[in-house]
Amino acid sequence: MHINTYQTYQRRGTAGAPVVLAFHGTGGDELQFVGLIDEMLPQAGIVAPRGDVSEFGASRFFRRTAEGVYDMADLRQRTVQMLNFVSDVRNSYPDRAIYALGYSNGANILASMLFENPDLFDRAALMHPLIPWTPQPQSRLKEKPVMISAGMQDPISPLNGSLALIEWFKAQEASVESVIAPGGHQISSAELGALRGFLRAA
């Protein structure tokens, strides 16, 4: 058991139902996706940590030095910290599937964890991620269900980066679903529809 320093919303849900880990975007909090998960998977458990980095008062999961420029040492450290957190969640729900969804900064920390240890997750949805580097190959992503969504005019997470990430996951032989929606950095109705189907697919 690791020491949990995150402020966290938790609900056990119904026995046998999946547990959904939810990772908010910059400036969000642990409640950002609770209502959405309730609507999509009403029996599910929920574990939603609040990012422990403050950027001018906005909660994040790791530091950056500018828009799209990450403090890579901090990202590595906080990825390990979050992997420990998720490992404890998995151990707390040994007989239940572990799903994860993340938006923006939350999608980025989720992606970083998938690069390191995809075995902790049964399926994962990345909404508007920005990964400005090419990850190392990860053979354990083979057949892992992964959803990636993006906006065609997203100024925060440019489309070409999202398309490159989609291709990277496909190259790892993950089971990839992608949604490219009109609009910018907001989550569109098309993405929500795809997310609903993705979470309920199993």
- The pLDDT profile of the chain, 202 residues, written as one tens digit per residue, is 566 789 999 999 999 999 999 999 999 999 999 999 999 999 999 999 999 999 999 999 999 988 888 999 999 999 999 999 999 999 999 999 999 999 999 999 999 999 999 999 999 999 999 999 999 999 999 999 999 999 999 999 999 999 999 999 999 999 999 999 999 999 999 999 999 999 999 7
H or E segment at 175?
strand 175-181
Question: Full-prediction pTM beyond 0.75?
Answer: yes
Q: Enter the tokens of residue 15.
A: 């026995």
Residue 88 to residues 37, 84, 92, Cα–Cα distance (Å): 21, 6, 6
- Report the SS3 class of residue 53: strand
Residue 128 annotated to the active site: no
Q: How far apart are CA 170 and CA 156, in angstroms?
A: 23
**Catalytic: which of 59, 104, 149, 188?**
104
Residue 104 annotated to the active site: yes
**Catalytic: which of 149, 154, 162, 188?**
154
Q: Which domains does the chain have, with CATH numbers?
A: 10-200 (3.40.50.1820)
Q: How many CB atoms lie within 10 A of CB 144?
A: 20
Residue 154 annotated to the active site: yes
**Catalytic: which of 38, 71, 92, 185?**
185
